[in-house]
Structures are given as structure tokens and as C-alpha cells.
Amino acid sequence: MRLRALRLDRIGRLSAPLVAAALLLGSFAPAQSERLPKVGYLGFGAAVPPTHFQNRMRELRYSEGKEVTVEYRFAGGRPGELPRLARELVDAKVDVIMAVGDEAIVAAKNATRTVPIVMVACDAVTTGFVESLARPGGNLTGVTCITSELMPKRMAVFRELLPSASRLVVLYNPENVSKPPEVARLVELAKELGLDAKAVQFRTAEDIERAFSALATDRPDGLVVLTEQRSIAHAKLLGDLSRRDRLPVLHSFSEGVHAGGLISYGPHFPEMVVMATNYVAKILKGGKPAELPVEQPTRFELVINLQTAKEIGLTIPASLLARADEVIE
């Protein structure tokens, strides 16, 4: 009995340090049930991986599946789906929603007053998304361009491109809250430049096709597209129709020119996405939307499609080509 007791005592003394070491190591091991931060991404268009968002998240040490979970929701070009998709993200208990485009922002804003929202917007103040750029208030912040500052520059490009023009048509989506004020401003500027401007609405691809059919009988000198997520979704159609009808088209973002449009002047959209992604990371680390001032893009680009210019029989002024940030040949 005494021998057995000595053996048990010795085993106990040997095992105690092992148990302590195991407990110590266990305290440093990550908990298997630890919840990863969750981001919701809400977009208007097709379910295309948002590479600029994903790349920036990785650069910020938020790799999907390792440091963060991302719930993607895309409306597939159907704006009526956005409210439901926004509610799905709220129900999924995401920590922050990144909403790209004005219609997605409206849907997210209506879905929650508590979940932080980071927006990529056209004009956040004019639309009433935020109280001011410096003090956004509420649960919304992000990146926006200021249309009132950009429109005069765009119209100057239009006049330089078509110095003898007298009539233009502006094509816009009336369901986007930022566009009616843009149209009003554009019409004012057109008058100052001696141009007669007519506004034409579109909501669907069929609307765009009907608009171009009407323009064939009442032809303007040029077309201005107020670019947003819906027009970007139909960028190829716009490019095809403009080349078919040999109609010069000015876009707000380069996406329209890459899809076959003639010319664009506006912010570099990938930069806006990267800037918004920075805010997503800040919020995941504890930042409050109301305390993060809305930022503006710093990079603006003039993009010209020379191939389209040749197809429609237009010579681009050398002054524009000299200033172009990108020329597609």
C-alpha cells in the first residue's frame, strides 16, 4: 500500500505541471466560437465580385473568412429588390453596411437607424443623406462627390467637344434622388452656354431604346448621361446605341466610356470605393459614423474613346486629347 501511495504521489507531482501548462496554453488559443466581424455589401447591379472593395479589405488585414465575414447582396439591376436585400442584411446582424449607389443607400437608410452605413454617393448633402459633410450625424457616413462643383466642368467639356452645338438631351433616372437637382443645374448651365437642353427620363433598358428611337426623329447635337448605378448597368446598351446612331455622348464616370461611350469627366470610381472601404475598417475597429466626416474623391479623370469617335465620325479636339487621363484606341 505504501509503495502504491508513493507511485500515485509521484504521478500527481509530475502531472500537475503538465495540467498547468495545458491550461496556460489554452488561455492563449483562439476561442473556436469567437464571432468574426460581419460586413454587409449592398449593390444595385449584377452579382459581380467588387474587386476594389475586396482588395482594400485584404490590405487592411480583413481577409474574408479569416478576419471578417462579408454578406453580399446584389439587386441584379432590379431596384425593387433593394429594400428586401437591405432588410436581409440587417436581419443577418451585420456590423456595418456598405451601400454603393444612391438607390442602395436609400434602401439601407430605410432599413435601419442603428446599423452603421458607409455610402458611395453622388451628392450626399443635396439628397439629404447627411446633415453636412463635416458632421454627418446619425448612422451614415462615407464618400460623395459634389455635383454642383462637377457639372460646370462637365458642361465645359461638352462645349469644347462640340463648339457648334445648339441642342443637347440629358438622359437621367428620375427614381435616383440626386438626379432631378442635377438636371435642373445642367439646364441652367446649358442656357449660359447658349444650348437648348431637353431632359429625358429612363428607368429600364426598354426606356433607353425608346429614347434613342425618338432622338432619331428629333436629333440633338449631343447627349449627356447622368451616370449612376442604373445607367452603369446599361452602359453597353448606351454605347451600342450611340455608335449606331452616331451620337456623341458625355458620361459622368469612365465606366460608360469603357463600355463604348465617347467621353467622360468625373471622379475615379475605384478610388471612391477604396475610400469607403477605409471607413468600413474604421467602424469595425469602433469608429462611429456620426463622428467620421463624409469624404470627397480627390482624383478626377477625363477619359476619351477614340475608337468610338472614329465610328461616329467625330474629330476630338487636340486640347481635350492633351488633357485626357486615359485615351482608349
Q: Which are the contacts of 122, defined by CB distance < 8 A and separation ≥ 6?
A: 102, 144, 145, 147, 176, 178, 179, 182, 228
Same domain, 167 and 83: no
Q: Is residue 1 part of a domain?
A: no
Give me the sign of the Cα torsion angle 154, 75, 99, 284: negative
Same domain, 96 and 235: no
Q: Is residue 21 part of a domain?
A: no
On the question of pLDDT at 67 being above 50, the answer is yes
Same domain, 154 and 169: yes
Q: Is residue 105 part of a domain?
A: yes
b/e 186-200 (16+ beta carbons within 10 angstroms → b): bbebbeeeebebebb
Beta bridge partners, 118, equal: 98, 141
Same domain, 42 and 184: no
Report the pLDDT value the prediction gives residue 8, as an integer from 0 to 100: 42
Same domain, 275 and 263: no
Same domain, 132 and 229: no
DSSP 316: P
Over residues 202-225, the pLDDT tens digits come to 999 999 999 999 999 999 999 999
CA distance 44 to 58: 23
| Averaged pLDDT for residues 149-157 | 94
DSSP string, 287-310: --GGGSPPB----EEEEEEHHHHH
Report the pLDDT value the prediction gives residue 3, as an integer from 0 to 100: 42
Q: Is residue 26 part of a domain?
A: no
Q: Which are the contacts of 66, defined by CB distance < 8 A and separation ≥ 6?
A: 36
pTM: 0.84
Helices in 63-195 by DSSP H: which ranges?
A: 82-91, 102-111, 147-161, 179-192
Question: Residue 113 half-sphere exposure, CB side, CA atoms within 13 Å?
Answer: 0
On the question of pLDDT at 119 being above 60, the answer is yes
Helix axis angle for 179-192 and 147-161, nearest 10°, is: 40
Q: Is residue 6 part of a domain?
A: no
Beta bridge partners, 97, equal: 40, 117
Same domain, 202 and 106: no
CA distance 43 to 105: 9
Q: Is residue 29 part of a domain?
A: no
Count of domains forming the chain: 2
Report the pLDDT value the prediction gives residue 45, as an integer from 0 to 100: 83
Same domain, 241 and 139: no
Same domain, 248 and 163: yes
Same domain, 138 and 74: yes
| Averaged pLDDT for residues 318-323 | 98
Share of the chain above pLDDT 70, in %: 89
* Range with the poorest average pLDDT among 107-116, 119-128, 209-218, 261-270: 119-128
In terms of phi and psi (left: phi > 0; alpha: psi -120 to 50; beta: otherwise), the region of 61 is left
Q: Which domain holds residue 72?
A: 38-145+269-291
Q: Which are the contacts of 223, defined by CB distance < 8 A and separation ≥ 6?
A: 168, 169, 170, 171, 215, 242, 247, 248, 249, 250
| Averaged pLDDT for residues 64-75 | 96
CATH assignment at residue 228: 3.40.50.2300
Same domain, 170 and 274: no
Give the Cα-Cα-Cα angle 56, 61, 63 (nearest 5 degrees): 80
Report the pLDDT value the prediction gives residue 25, as an integer from 0 to 100: 43
Number of other residues whose CB lies within 10 A of the CB of residue 175: 16
Q: Which one has a higher pLDDT value, 280 or 45?
A: 280
Report the pLDDT value the prediction gives residue 47, as an integer from 0 to 100: 65
Same domain, 162 and 310: yes
Beta strands of 45-139 (E only): which ranges?
Answer: 69-74, 96-100, 117-121
* Range with the poorest average pLDDT among 46-50, 163-167, 174-178, 271-275: 46-50
